[in-house]
Structure 1
Amino acid sequence: MGTCFILSIRIISQLVAVLSDSVQSEETQVSGAEGDAVTLRCSYTTSYTGSVYLHWYRQYPNQGLQYILWRGAKDARDLSDTANFAQQRFSSQVDDSATALSITALEVADGAVYYCALGLAP
Structure 2
Amino acid sequence: MLCSSPECKGEDKVMQTSGDVIAAEGDTVTLDCTFETTASNPDLFWYKQEVNIFPEYILRRDPYGTRDNAPEFQKDRFDAELNKPSVPLKIQKLQLSDSAVYYCALRPTVTGNKQGSYLNTTE
Gaps of 5+ in 2: 1-8, 110-123
Q: Which residue of 1 aligns with 2:85?
A: 97
Deviations 1:3-60 (A, max 9, x none): xxxxxxxxxxxxxxx64211100343211000000000110011222x2111000011
RMSD across aligned positions (CA): 1.7
> Contact 2:24/2:94 (CA < 8 Å) preserved in 1?
yes
TM-score (norm: length of structure 1) = 0.75
> Contact 1:59/1:114 (CA < 8 Å) preserved in 2?
yes
Distance (Å, rounded) in 1 between the aligned partners of 2:78 and 2:43: 17
Q: Which residue of 1 aligns with 2:16?
A: 25
Q: Which residue of 1 aligns with 2:28?
A: 37
Q: Which residue of 1 aligns with 2:43?
A: 53
Higher strand proportion, which one?
1
Residue correspondences, number: 100
Distance (Å, rounded) in 1 between the aligned partners of 2:83 and 2:72: 25
Q: Which residue of 1 aligns with 2:73?
A: 86
Look at both structures and tell me which one has the larger radius of gyration over its CA atoms. Answer: 2
Gaps of 5+ in 1: 1-17
